[in-house]
Structure 1
Amino acid sequence: MNVLLRCAGRPVARYLHRPDLALRLSPRPYLHPVTTLGGTPVTEERPEDHLHHLGVSVAVPDVSGHNFWGGRTYVRDRGPADLDNHGVQYHEGWKLRDPDGFVEDLSWRAEGRELLRERRTVAATELTATAWALDFTFSLTNPGPENLSIGSPATNGRQGAGYGGFFWRAPRQAAAPGVFTADVQGESSVHGRVADWLALTGPDWTLVFAGATEGTRKDPWFVRTGEYPGVGSSLVWDERLPIATGATVVRRVVTVVADGALGRGEAAALVRKALS
């Protein structure tokens, strides 16, 4: 089942809110394909290199030992392991559903119990004739009687692998995409760093990611361009994130989706417009 997201009268994304996926992929709602206003696809779904990469989604590899990322789980002093610990994000219902956006309730469940409740808000906004913005907010609440914590392979011993949270899998093309912030460029320079915004550029498209809340702006960027093209805003880089019973964690990422390969000045200007 899916919902079309429209911007400037054009379909720019499909949202699969009840995808039919194997448990090993950690089933969850996701956006794919996402396109520029000119129709160029800027997401990839279940690529051969990582079958659990699903367009644009919220994916977390470790919620108190439960895998909501998909694939193998990184175990300290052991490495990646195939474990029977995968969770599912269930669509619970719509609070709002319009052509240009929606508000959705989800339940994160594993081993027959609810670990987290999520309120997700997604909206599409036209910026120019060749660029639009995807505004994506998620809030995770611990509804249970026990404290939880979110981890990553990095917190479990794999250096530099602090992924988990908002994640965008871009399409693999003949050449690796470029990546830059306002100050530096290249995967090695931006990966694991905090920056107000980060741009990923293909031959005929640009994605500019910006944290739009104080917590999100403090999160490091997880970046891959050589191994595969993907960008995430990392909830957990080197220390586990506790979520006490009744507590809520909120993150908001606004992504500019533009036709053409933009430079720093153009990217910065579109981010300012998207956040204004």
Structure 2
Amino acid sequence: MSEPRTVPAGADETVELHCRGRAVACYGHRPDLPGRESPRPCLHPVRTLGGTVVTELRPADHVHHLGVSIAVPDVSGVNFWGGRTFVRGRGPTELDNHGRQRHLRWLRRGTDGFAEELAWERGGRRLLTERRTVAVRELDGRCWALDLTCELTNVRGEELSAGSPATNGRPGAGYGGFFWRPPAGSRPPEVFTDRAAGEAAVHGRPAPWLAMTGEGWTLVFAGATDDTRRDPWFVRAAEYPGVGSALAWGNRLPLPPGRPVVRRVVTAVADGRLDRTAAAGVAARLRVT
């Protein structure tokens, strides 16, 4: 198997995260990417403790999918997702409306995690300031957890809102927020929650946790705040593998000036294919207060 490509960046512009003495994730905080891809920091490659890569970077089907990232298709008209913008009455449309997330400073930085401050901006005009916190912790000898918190604050002094293709007229496409792009395998991955199984049954619905299993790996996602648990899961399996926690599924999410919007997702990264019982046991250990 060839080594996965990483986001183009200098050696001093990446953070390597470790668990049990092994490198399990690389975070590129100043990626060199085309503007159309809404440049933003991302985690890639992310690996199981056994070394299996569980993220994909810039796949041919969606080059703006960047491992694990926070991406929003529409912040008051600015595309922080990448690619085309869904326009009501026109469909997916190529627009010159892409923003970028710019790293401002580290608040903490270590091999077990970090905290940073980011500017979400378009043409030098800042819309949002984000405090992002990422932590790594061991669950057991075959599984570790990635804990990611995103705190977004509107700094414009005027009302902003987050939207999605769904809020702009494309049913079922409520993506935007935390998004994980796993690697494609020889067959679609399996996906299930505590009560349902299959893409159609879990897509667009909230659930305490959601698991996706691929070739030699399992990811178990859990919302770690009440607001996050209320957000529906955005799921793709047949067309490509992808899991997101949707900020604006059916309605735009208000971003009032000066009032932070916080979301937190904890993801278990496991070797092997877990069944529902095993995944539920892992999910129970992801609960945080």
Q: TM-score, normalised by structure 1?
A: 0.99
Task: Note if 1:256 corresponds to 2:268.
Answer: yes
After superposition, residues 95-244 of structure 1 pair within 5 angstroms as 95-244=107-256
Query: What CA deviation, in whole Å up to 9, does each residue of 1:37-79 have, x standing for no partner?
Result: 0000000000000000000000000000000000000000000
Shift of 1:268: 1.1
Equivalent residue pairs, number: 276
SS at 2:278 equivalent: helix
| Identical pairs, percent | 64
Moved more, 107-116 or 208-217: 107-116
Q: Is the 8 A contact 2:84 2:94 kept in 1?
A: yes
Q: How far apart in 2 are the matches of 1:152 and 1:53?
A: 16
2:133 partner SS: strand
CA distance in 1, matches of 2:141, 2:15: 23
Q: How many angstroms does 1:203 deviate by?
A: 2.3
Tell me the SS of whatever aligns to 2:187. Answer: coil
Q: 1:41 pairs with 44, 47, 53, which one?
A: 53
Distance 1:275 1:125 in 2: 13
- Give unmatched runs, 5+ long, in structure 2: 1-12
CA RMSD of aligned residues (A): 0.6
Q: Report the Cα distance in structure 2 between the residues aligned to 1:203 and 1:183, rounded to whole angstroms.
A: 23
Partner of residue 89, structure 1: 101
Distance (Å, rounded) in 2 between the aligned partners of 1:202 and 1:165: 23
Which one of the candidate residues 17, 20, 25 is aligned to 2:37?
Answer: 25
8 Å contact 2:222–2:286 — kept in the other structure?
no
Give the match's secondary structure for 2:64.
coil
Alignment of 1:68 onto 2:64 = no
Question: Could you list the runs of 4 or more consecutive aligned residues of structure 1 that deviate by over 6 angstroms after TM superposition?
Answer: none
Unaligned runs of 5+ in 1: none
SS of 2:270's equivalent in the other structure is strand
Aligned equivalents of 2:286, 2:196: Cα separation in 1: 22
